[in-house]
Homo-oligomer: A and B are copies of this chain.
Amino acid sequence: MSLDFRTWMKNTQENCEQALSEYIPQCDIVPQQLHEAMRYAALDGGKRVRPLLVFAAGRLFNAPEELLSRAACAVEMIHAYSLVHDDMPCMDDDELRRGKPTVHVKYDEATALLVGDALQAQAFIVLSEGNGDAQMKLSMVRVLAQASGSVGMCGGQAIDLASVGLALSREQLEQMHRLKTGALLRASVLLGAMSGKTLSSSETEALYAYSAAIGLAFQVVDDILDATADSATLGKTAGKDAADNKPTYVSLLGLSASQTLAAQLCNDAHNALLPFGENAQYLHDLADLIVQRQA
């Protein structure tokens, strides 16, 4: 008997918060200020979409809790570090994140740089420690590193930076997002599933299709919210992409077509899950959540 989605989600978010708090060194460990700032960056905030994907995908093959918890925290640390660096003055220069001052505002730029660097390392510490089959865990390290690096998230950010002020085609926009946010979302789904068993090629393909659909949906909805919501609801500066003259789905397709696209991608995600039957229920519900979120 499964928990209803909202209860499961709340439990998972709480467990993830607690695990993150354990997996990031405590504030009394030297260097104290760095650890305090790492905890400031990673704890107490965020929707934990990536950890939710890890845990939901872990249910496909009955993956062990500890490994899922490590994978979820590792992905979230990569995500958190990318936000810290992304917010720095030389990148997006944002002062507000999840309703709180960004790390370089709360501390300083040098600390923000080191917090990001150390959180990335911490992700690989967490994933390489603990129990579990070594071959499986080494594959997970590889998946996470590839998703984070120059042909994953960092690469997407580089393309994003280079594209400010340019008239991107829809294909170019998609490629950028497939790397910038898509790669880590896909890694989340893969890491969860891989924690349970070695994936067959058809399973991998189905999970790729699901991830591709929710990854794009996530970005389309981000663009819709940036254009329609206010800063207080978002917990970050709204309308910033348009002000920065960054290409978005809304600027490219218009608001209404963007909303239709999001709904269609959600449907694609649901269809990709059909081979997994009932075990995929939470992944199914997460696709809904991603498209229906208000922040």
Contacts and interface: CB of A to CB of B under 8 A. Distances in A.
A192 interface: no
Interface string A100-125: 00000000111111101110111011
A155 B113 contact: no
Contact of A129 (B91, B142, B151): B142
A34 interface: yes
A281 B113 CA distance: 39
A149 interface: yes
A154 interface: yes
Interface stretch (A25-33, A47-55, A220-228): A25-33
A117 B29 contact: no
A169 interface: no
A149 B161 CA distance: 27
A113 B125 contact: no
A145 B125 CA distance: 5
A106 B60 CA distance: 48
Given A30-B159, A31-B158, A121-B149, 18 more contacts: A33-B158, A34-B154, A85-B117, A90-B110, A110-B161, A111-B158, A114-B158, A117-B120, A117-B148, A120-B120, A121-B145, A121-B146, A121-B148, A122-B149, A127-B141, A128-B139, A137-B138, A138-B138
Contacts of A157: 114
Contact of A110 (B91, B112, B151): B91
Interface string A126-144: 0111000011011101101
Q: How large is the interface on A (under 10, 10 to 19, 20 to 34, 35 or more residues)?
A: 35 or more
A181 to B, nearest CB: 15
Contacts of A108: 90
Contacts of A85: 113, 117
Given A31-B150, A33-B158, A113 B91 contact: yes
A101 B152 CA distance: 27
Contacts of A243: none
Interface in A71-121: 81-82, 85, 88, 90-91, 108-114, 116-118, 120-121
A82 B121 CA distance: 12
A109 to B, nearest CB: 4
Contact of A118 (B116, B144, B150): B150
Contact of A114 (B114, B120, B139, B154): B154
A90 B113 contact: yes
A3 interface: no
Given A34-B150, A34-B155, A158-B111, A138 B145 contact: no
A110 to B, nearest CB: 5
